[in-house]
């Protein structure tokens, strides 16, 4: 029978105090939820990353060089084969045709840094490509991507078919993909293709995966120490390569220059020889013309001679014909004479006639001979004339051929002159470039330091953020919850004092009595703890992880059970709910049953409180105010518990809201109040006259508001918890433009908002970098340049800056430190229209100029900050909600305890004639006053927590604003007022319903 009554009493203790029971469950659930959830999320994220990197064999070290990695570089790296797997690859940045989107095409790896196939397949042919899964919304499978062809891209093919979507363990970020020298200056996407697509004699990247780091946790100190040691080994190995590589390039380039010079010389000689041949041909033609003219003249004279000869022959023929006629007449006369004259007379005539005939025959013979000579002369003349005409035709043909050859020569000469001029210019440019060619920089990166590692660092930073918050936030929350639970259980034992005495009088053992309260505390605390542990292991990691998934390309989080945190939660629950019950019951059991059956003696009062000694104030206080003041100090434990409970809740709420306040306007402050320029345009080290003119025109265009010439250089400094190499942008300004510089970057002290002047006594550092280096004004810092040369600089100022690391320096101090003349190589540019679209368009225009090396926009930093803000806001929302719930439960619990403990006192003053409102205020004023004190204490504690967290949470290159907005103070205050009003209403209704006479009955 006894046991039945005992267990019935235990059950009734649950049913009669549902509010207390649920409040303990709520407190333990909230505490364990925050503790377990925040403590397991970071390990879950880290293990997820560890498995992801192990599965895809992510490279531990990456090696890149300004001029690629040649055979000599590869031979050196191959000496590490006993320590690491080594794999080489290609990549090239290309512009998607008819867009401003820049893709980085990488060769498909064999073993190291493999890609996760999300959908489709990996490329197998030269015309296939797999793109990153973040391009799903823009590019469909089987789509064709065509890229602009450039000489520098070293690609055999520029058109590809999309065959798959992939993720990379190297490139996790969806926001900051890296910078490029193509398009807008910022990468838009990545893709992988086969190695055969690349036409390059050197590799662009070497990836190293060390044997003893396979599967290691990349977030542990052991891994970081080892990988930094390996990095130093590789840097030492490649230390002599820059000079050797430069000498090799100079030698090979000089050979090519000599060969090209010889080709140009031969081309010039060929032109000279062709010109000489044309001149010789012209001379020969001119000589032929002269000879033809002489021949013509000779033929003409011959013709005249023949014409004269023909006339003479005609005359001679005429004379011979007359002579022949005369001889015929004489012969007729002789015949007549013979007939009539004597022989003597006609014989003489006959002799004369015979003499005349002989003379005629001789003349005829001579004439015939002359005719034959004339005929031969005519034949010769005609032959000479024919030959002359043939020569004239040949000459005409030769002249026409010469004319054609001359025309062809001049056409070819013009083209050759252009080619020779271009060749000479190219040779001059090549010689100039060769003369100023610098040693290449060999970049040795860990996973955290590669140009595309923003996502890797962001993912690790996110895990560190949760870990940092988990190191302080749940401790405070759990401590407050535990104290209130401790008080609640103590009050529960006090309420059960009479029952304890009854059970003891009935002969129940101390063990039985302990059992009741241990069961109650254990049940309530374990139910709450198990709920919190379950939600903490499952819900909170997923909620937090999902907040980062929109900015980082990662697989689903892997959830694990952490027995140590479950045990810790159960232990804390035991200490909070079971231990106090045991200790208080133990104290009560020391008393006799008769004493336990009597009510506890009232708290000793009567001593003056401190306020009573302040007569001017005390004398002006009303009766109820004096009672309230005395009661507050009368119940010191409850006073401290209320203050601590409220302050703890307010501190957590302040911290959550404070972090939101610190990050929500970072972008506006950074890129509206401090950084006023829109982009930095970096020019090439060596520009032609035309390139300088083109850049000058672009800077002076109508869509550029203004620009400021500067010198920009990247410096390196190892800093931060992980000892990473921090990239620092050093900007040097001409001393005459120091005032104008403030219109582009406002240098000011964050706390005083006082402007900081650039001086020749040192550099001005950005505040976040100064925090990481733990330096102050007047200190000296040693920086490294890209060639690992050390430069010592004194700090003359620390300026407000929330994004990136900067060092600002004057021209004179720059020349003093670096011992070389100041030379403009970059321009701070302000656009006429400050929209992201316009800035990207203008950046593209600048990148199209051959004299521009790179363009750095502020849009990437804005997106990065917005990502951090969005992610942290969601995390803080969870913590803020937890803080609000904690505040509700604490105030409800403490108010309940206060009312329950003083119900007889309240009944007394009500019986004495106090109105209901006065009865409520009699006790509730204490809660209000103590809550007000708790608010101010909470603001102080919250400020300390806020400052601690914003110092631990941000990534190395981001600083949260230490100042908070007014709503961080206003919202918790309003929330507390609403809670007090709500609880006051509940208490008021409760006190109205209480049977005061019953409450005043004696326990006897």
Task: Map residue 963 onto helix, strand or coil.
Answer: coil
Instruction: List Cβ neighbours of 825 (8 Å cut-off, separation of 6 or more).
Output: 682, 683, 685, 710, 711, 712
* Partners of 748 in the β-ladder: 755
Crossing angle of helices 967-993 and 636-664, in 10° steps, is 140
Return the residue matching tokens 């009734």.
Answer: 12
Euclidean distance between CA atoms 152 and 853, whole angstroms: 13
Q: How far apart are CA 149 and CA 157, in angstroms?
A: 9
Closest CA to 473 of 944, 973, 991, 975: 944
Beta-strand pair 704-719/679-683: unpaired
Indicate the fold that domain 245-436 takes in CATH.
Answer: Helix Hairpins (1.10.287)
Strands 102-107 and 91-95, by their bridges, are antiparallel
- Quick one: CA torsion of 342, 345, 351, 354, rounded to 10 degrees? -70
H or E element at residue 387:
helix 343-436
CA 909/CA 340 separation, integer angstroms: 218
Asked if residues 813 and 763 have their Cβ atoms less than 8 Å apart, the reply is yes
pLDDT of amino acid 952: 78
The string of pLDDT tens digits covering residues 604-625 is: 555 677 777 777 887 777 777 7
**Residues of 965-1004 as b/e, b for ≥16 C-beta within 10 angstroms?**
beebbebbbebbeebbeebbeebbeebeeeebeeeeeeee
For residue 600, the model assigns a pLDDT of: 67
Tokens of 229: 């040691």
CB 572 within 8 A of CB 482: yes
Residues of the chain where predicted confidence (pLDDT) is lower than 50? 1, 1002-1004
The domain segmentation of the chain, as residue ranges, is: 1-52+482-601, 58-213, 245-436, 635-672+858-1004, 676-857
- pTM of the full predicted structure? 0.75
């Amino acid at each position: 029978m006894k046991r039945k009554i005992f267990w019935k009493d235990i059950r009734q203790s649950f049913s009669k105090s549902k509010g207390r029971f649920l409040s303990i469950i709520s407190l333990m659930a909230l505490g364990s939820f925050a503790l377990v959830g925040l403590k397991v999320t970071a390990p879950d994220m880290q293990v997820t990353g560890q498995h992801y990197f192990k599965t895809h064999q992510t490279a531990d070290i990456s090696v890149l060089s300004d001029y690629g990695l040649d055979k000599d570089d590869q031979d050196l790296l191959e000496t590490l084969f006993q320590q690491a797997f080594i794999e080489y690859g290609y990549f090239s940045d290309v512009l998607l045709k008819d867009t401003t989107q820049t893709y980085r095409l990488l060769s498909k790896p064999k073993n190291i840094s493999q890609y996760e196939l999300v959908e489709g397949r990996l490329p197998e042919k030269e015309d296939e490509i797999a793109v990153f899964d973040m391009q799903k919304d823009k590019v469909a499978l089987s789509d064709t991507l065509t890229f602009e062809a450039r000489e520098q891209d070293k690609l055999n093919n520029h058109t590809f078919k999309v065959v798959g979507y992939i993720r990379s363990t190297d490139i996790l970020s969806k926001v900051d993909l890296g910078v490029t020298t193509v398009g807008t200056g910022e990468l838009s996407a990545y893709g992988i293709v086969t190695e055969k697509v690349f036409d390059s004699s050197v590799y662009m990247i070497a990836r190293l995966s060390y044997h003893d780091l396979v599967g290691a946790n990349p977030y542990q100190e052991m891994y970081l120490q080892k990988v930094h040691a390996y990095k130093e080994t590789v840097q030492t190995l490649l230390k002599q390569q820059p000079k050797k590589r430069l000498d090799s390039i100079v030698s090979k380039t000089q050979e090519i220059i000599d060969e090209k010079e010889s080709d140009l010389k031969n081309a010039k000689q060929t032109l000279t020889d062709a010109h000489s041949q044309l001149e010789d041909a012209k001379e020969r033609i001119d000589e032929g013309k002269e000879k033809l003219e002489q021949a013509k003249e000779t033929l003409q004279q011959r013709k005249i001679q023949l014409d004269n000869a023909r006339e003479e022959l005609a005359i001679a023929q005429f004379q011979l014909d007359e002579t022949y006629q005369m001889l015929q007449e004489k012969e007729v006369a002789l015949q007549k004479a013979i007939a009539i004259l004597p022989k003597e007379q006609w014989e003489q005539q006959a002799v004369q006639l015979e003499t005349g005939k002989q003379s005629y025959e001789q003349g005829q013979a001579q004439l015939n001979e002359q005719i034959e000579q004339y005929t031969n002369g005519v034949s010769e003349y005609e032959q000479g004339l024919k030959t002359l005409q043939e020569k004239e035709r040949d000459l005409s043909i030769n002249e026409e051929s010469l004319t054609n050859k001359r025309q062809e020569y001049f056409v070819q000469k013009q083209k050759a002159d252009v080619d020779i001029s271009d060749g000479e210019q190219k040779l001059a440019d090549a010689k100039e470039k060769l003369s100023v060619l610098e040693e290449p920089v060999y970049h040795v990166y860990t996973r955290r330091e590669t140009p595309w590692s923003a996502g890797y660092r962001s993912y690790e930073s996110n895990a560190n953020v949760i870990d940092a918050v988990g190191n302080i936030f749940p401790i405070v929350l759990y401590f407050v919850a535990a104290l209130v639970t401790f008080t609640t259980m103590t009050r529960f034992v006090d309420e059960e004092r009479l029952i304890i005495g009854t059970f003891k009088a009935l002969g129940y053992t101390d063990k039985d009595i302990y059992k009741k309260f241990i069961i109650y505390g254990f049940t309530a605390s374990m139910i709450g703890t198990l709920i919190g542990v379950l939600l903490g292991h499952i819900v909170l990691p997923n909620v937090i992880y999902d907040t980062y998934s929109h900015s980082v390309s990662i697989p689903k989080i892997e959830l694990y059970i952490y027995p140590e945190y479950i045990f810790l939660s159960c232990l804390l629950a035991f200490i909070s709910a079971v231990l106090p019950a045991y200790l208080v019951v133990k104290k009560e059991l020391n008393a006799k049953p008769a004493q336990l059956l009597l009510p506890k003696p009232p708290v000793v009062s009567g001593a003056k409180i401190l306020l009573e000694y302040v007569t001017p104030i005390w004398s002006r206080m009303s009766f109820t105010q004096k009672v309230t003041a005395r009661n507050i100090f009368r119940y010191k434990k409850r006073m401290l518990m209320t203050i601590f409970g409220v302050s703890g809740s307010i501190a957590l709420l302040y911290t959550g809201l404070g972090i939101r306040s610190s990050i929500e306007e970072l972008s506006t402050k950074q890129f509206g109040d401090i950084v006023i320029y829109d982009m930095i345009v970096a020019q090439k080290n060596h520009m032609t006259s035309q390139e300088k003119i083109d850049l000058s025109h672009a800077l002076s265009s109508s869509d550029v508001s203004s620009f400021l010439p500067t010198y920009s250089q990247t410096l390196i400094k190892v800093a931060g918890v992980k000892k990473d190499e921090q990239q620092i942008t050093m900007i040097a300004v001409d001393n005459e433009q120091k005032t104008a510089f403030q219109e582009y970057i406002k240098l000011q002290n964050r706390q005083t908002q006082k402007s900081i002047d650039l001086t020749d006594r040192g550099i001005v550092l950005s505040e976040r970098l100064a925090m990481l280096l733990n330096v102050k004004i007047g200190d000296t810092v040693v920086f490294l340049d890209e060639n690992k040369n050390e430069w010592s600089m004194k700090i003359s100022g620390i300026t407000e800056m929330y994004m990136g690391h900067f060092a600002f320096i004057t021209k004179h101090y720059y020349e003093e430190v670096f011992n070389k003349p100041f030379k403009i190589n970059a321009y701070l540019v302000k656009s006429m229209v400050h929209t992201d679209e316009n800035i990207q368009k203008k950046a593209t225009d600048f990148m199209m100029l051959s004299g521009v090396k790179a363009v750095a926009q502020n849009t990437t930093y804005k997106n990065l900050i917005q990502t951090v803000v969005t992610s942290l806001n969601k995390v803080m929302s969870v913590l803020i909600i937890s803080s609000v719930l904690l505040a509700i439960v604490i105030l409800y619990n403490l108010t309940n305890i206060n009312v329950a403990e003083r119900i007889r006192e309240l009944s007394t003053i009500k019986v004495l004639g106090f109105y209901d409102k006065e009865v409520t205020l009699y006790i509730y004023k204490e809660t209000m006053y103590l809550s007000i004190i708790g608010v101010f204490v909470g603001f102080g504690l919250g400020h300390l927590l806020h400052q601690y967290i914003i110092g631990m949470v941000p990534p190395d290159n981001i600083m949260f604003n230490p100042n908070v907005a007014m709503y961080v103070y206003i919202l918790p205050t309003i929330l507390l007022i609403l809670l007090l009003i709500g609880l006051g209403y509940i208490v008021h209704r409760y006190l109205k319903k209480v049977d005061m006479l019953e409450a005043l009955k004696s326990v006897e």
